[in-house]
Amino acid sequence: MAADLHTHTTASDGTLAPEELVRRAAELGLDAVGITDHDTMAGLPEAEEAGRRSGIAVVPGVELSTDATGREVHILGYYCRADAEPLASLLAAMRAGREERVERILAALARAGVSLTREDVLAAAAGEAQRPESLGRPHVARALVQHGYAESVADAFARFLVPGKPGYVPRPKLHPADAVRCVRAAGGAAVLAHPGLVGDDSILTELLAAGLQGLEVWYPDHTPEQLQRYLRLCEDLGLIPTGGSDFHGRGERWAELGQVTAPSEVVERLAAAAQA
């Protein structure tokens, strides 16, 4: 009885359309699949429709990119009302910031002798069916590969898109506690994503005060020791342990769909937390 509660579709930087991702999750025999695109809920109607057709529970979600003390912190929101304010405006502003950031990345790359246009980025993004709602560095990375500037997406990141490299441009800053408050105000359950990648448990105090309800315990990059530690933290702090693969599609450096899961009773706990 398993639920993969962390996946990305073509609405952001995944490579499978929501419909196809959900259909595959059903074929794998998962009980539930969570759709958690970066800074957008645009893939959810299609995913939920596919869930009804293929008989798998679709958990609506979103992953918000935030920063605290120089570290990247991702907040997962489950069962948020898509039209609730201020979340809807916040997500729209984050996406607008991402659009503008692509322009700045392309300008920075041009100064480094890389000639790539916005059209190139969108064309690379849409080997996929529709234009992504939420643009990110992976879309630029795919264009760099297509145009011969890098051998792979990982190579494109390493050479151009990470801090210290010529095409690195930070995102506009949002504090994770503000993201947690927005998720809660939209009727959602707020979860700290992949705490092992954050690497600083001290932010939990502030996030708990803001209304954090869960911690992503089962995650591909977590060591067995981290898994045990986060599970114990959940018990001690009364947080819901969640988990998932962070699947982005095939041919990427990512885990496979369903490779990492949470027990499916977590879904009911998240739904109850969302109503709280």
Question: With CB cut-offs between 5 and 8 Å by kind, which of ligand AMP, Zn ion, Fe ion, none does residue 249 bind?
Answer: none
Give whichever of 14 and 167 is closer to Fe ion, judged by the CB atom.
14
4 binds Fe ion (CB under 5 A): no
Q: CA torsion 148→152→153→157, rounded to 10°? A: -80
Q: Look at residue 157 and give the partner it binds from ligand AMP, Zn ion, Fe ion, none, a contact being a CB closer than 5 to 8 Å depending on partner kind.
A: ligand AMP
Nearer to Zn ion, 13 or 19 (CB): 13
State yes or no: residue 39 binds Zn ion (CB under 5 A): no
Site track for ligand AMP across 233-252, x = CB under 6 A = ---------------x----
Which residues have CB under 8 Å from 3's CB, separation 6+? 30, 31, 32, 33, 34, 57, 59, 244, 261, 262, 263, 264, 266, 267
The region, left, alpha or beta by phi > 0 then psi within -120 to 50, assigned to residue 113 is left
Assess whether the previous peptide bond of 195 is cis (omega < 30° from 0). Answer: no
Helix, strand, coil in percent for the chain, rounding step 5 = 45, 15, 40
- SS3 at position 141: helix
Of 158, 204, 212, residue with least CA distance to 182 = 212
Residue nearest to Fe ion (CB): 74
Segment 117-136, which members bind ligand AMP (CB under 6 A)? 136
Q: List the single partner that 9 binds among ligand AMP, Fe ion, Zn ion, none, CB under 5 to 8 Å by kind.
A: none
Could you say whether residue 37 binds Zn ion (CB under 5 A)?
A: no
Q: Which of 157, 160, 230, 247 binds ligand AMP (CB under 6 A)?
A: 157
User: Starting from the edge strand earliest in sequence, which strands make up the sheet with 214-218, in order?
Assistant: 240-243, 214-218, 189-192, 71-78, 57-68, 32-35, 2-4, 262-263
Q: Which two tokens stand for residue 154?
A: 């990982």
Q: 3-class DSSP state for residue 198?
A: helix
Count of residues interacting with Fe ion (CB under 5 A): 4
Which residues between 160 and 219 bind ligand AMP (CB under 6 A)? 171
Q: Is residue 246 close enough to count as binding Fe ion by CB under 5 A? A: yes
In the window 54-83, what residues touch Fe ion (CB under 5 A)?
63, 74
Residue in the block written with tokens 């990492």: 260
Q: Does 252 bind Fe ion (CB under 5 A)?
A: no
Residues 165, 161: Cα–Cα separation, whole Å: 6
Q: Is 13 in the site for Zn ion (CB under 5 A)?
A: yes
Pick from 38, 142, 181, 184 the residue near ligand AMP by CB under 6 A.
38
Instruction: List interacting residues with Zn ion (CB under 5 A).
Output: 13
Instruction: List interacting residues with ligand AMP (CB under 6 A).
Output: 13, 38, 65, 136-138, 153-154, 157, 171, 248, 253
